[in-house]
Amino acid sequence: MSSDHVPPHRQQPTLLEAVAALEAVAVAGEDERFGPALGLVGGLFGSAAPAEVAAAGPRLAALLPDAPPFPRAHLAMVVGACVENGADPAACAGPVLAGLRGALTGAQHLVQRWAETGGGPLPDPEGDDPVEAHDRIADPARLDAWHAHLAVVAWWTLHLWQRAAWAVYAHAPVRGEARASGVTDVLLELFGRYEGGQHDFKGLASLALMLDDEPLLVLDRPTGTGYLLRMDGLGDTFQLHTLLADVLIGGGHLPGTRPDPEVVALARTAVLDGRRVIATGAFNLVAPDGSWLWNEGTPGDIPVVDGVRTLVLDPLPYERSWSAGRFIQEIPGDLRLERVLTPAEAAQRLARTAPAQSAEQAFR
């Protein structure tokens, strides 16, 4: 006889229930179940309420240090997605940036061992076998099996750590804390030493170096005037150059041609729509010691003198132009004039600066 009994429908767990299940797996040390449990969390992410996503972020970040190596990077990506959708970035950043540091170190180990074992093209994470890479670099005398495993995992997942780190570094409180604690300096040093050409850290480095709520003293040599300004979210010196011209020339403080409003908007908040908009230079940007500060750099290149970044403006030695916009489109930029220095203050500050280098000296 057939039964009319229908088993009750099993209700799908909520995101936070799935997070709790993942936490239980982590506590039990059941590494083989970690990936599937994390997959359930990822599958529920899109339909979760904003409050759930915000609550999940720090709890998931706390699992990163002890997560199994391969799933760890995917967990970091989920944490980054939580931050992008409202989770507290400061509460999530520490384990993410620590994981990036570990991935950089491990990937560099793979690069070094690859060179020591014959060189040639580095493995392709999209098509090559990580087991073969492990077998090639493992050597009890140089890199034991476990550290070889970590190096391979790091190479295969470094791009995921980059994306997760971007999500947290996109927030000013994280940038400030990471700089103050020395975390950013460590990461920048690792970026500089990294030899794996398949990864580019220029964007992430610029984001990490971005200055927030930073005072800037500007001295205009031709007019003998000085200005105290404040920078926020400026990721490149092209952007700063445009905003200096807008605030100082556009504000009637210095002679010259005010930048096109569209160029200014692109330096502040507007997003490029595919067109190429041209910005033009208004000044030569010079450090107090007379060395040129190139537009290709970042505002962090401006030296600190007596506790404040100090920039000297000189006449352009030749015409300059570049594509308008912000190197880091996701972050709005701002430059505000706080006060005009008195003539005596400006003269005193200018008297302590050196004449600008000649073009020949600057290009050496």
Q: What is the tens place of the pLDDT at every residue in 332-362?
A: 999 999 999 999 999 999 999 999 998 878 8
Q: Helix, strand, or coil here: 220? A: strand
Going residue by residue through the chain (364 aa), what tens digit of pLDDT does each one get? 444 554 455 578 999 999 999 999 999 999 999 999 999 999 999 899 999 999 999 999 999 999 999 999 999 999 999 999 999 999 999 999 999 999 999 999 999 999 999 999 999 999 999 999 999 999 988 889 999 999 999 999 999 999 999 999 999 999 999 999 999 999 999 999 988 777 889 999 999 999 999 999 999 999 999 999 999 999 999 999 999 999 999 999 999 999 999 999 999 999 988 889 999 999 999 999 999 999 999 999 999 999 999 999 999 999 999 999 999 999 999 999 999 999 999 999 999 999 999 887 888 7
Q: What is the DSSP letter of 245?
A: I
Count the Cβ atoms, other than its own, within 10 Å of residue 176: 15
- Name every residue whose Cβ is closer than 8 Å to that of residue 26 and which is 6 or more positions away in sequence: 34, 63, 66, 67
In the block, residue with structure tokens 């920078």:
231
Is 236:327 a contact under the CB 8 Å cutoff?
yes
| pLDDT single digits (tens) 49-100 | 999 999 999 999 999 999 999 999 999 999 999 999 999 999 999 999 999 9
Residue 286's H or E segment, with its range, is strand 284-286
Chain-centroid distance of CA 156 in Å reads 20
pLDDT value of position 358: 87
Query: What does the DSSP assignment read for 36-82?
Result: HHHHHHHHHHTTS-HHHHHHHHHHHHHHGGGS-HHHHHHHHHHHHHH
Q: In sequence order, which ranges of the chain are alpha helices (DSSP H)? A: 15-28, 31-45, 50-63, 69-84, 89-116, 130-137, 145-169, 172-181, 183-193, 202-209, 237-244, 261-268, 343-351, 359-362
List residues bridging with 310 in a β-sheet: 217
pLDDT value of position 10: 55
Percentage of the chain exceeding pLDDT 90? 87
Closest C-alpha to 96, from 204, 18, 22, 236: 204
pLDDT value of position 363: 80
- Give buried/exposed letters for 250-280 (b at 16+ CB in 10 A, else e): beeebeeeebbeebbbbbbebeeeeeeeebb
pLDDT value of position 361: 83
Break the chain into its structural domains and give their ranges.
15-209, 214-362
- Give buried/exposed letters for 108-144 (b at 16+ CB in 10 A, else e): bbbbbbbeeeeeeebbeeeeeeeeebbebbbeeeebe
What is the DSSP pairing of strand 214-220 with strand 278-280?
A: unpaired
pLDDT value of position 198: 73
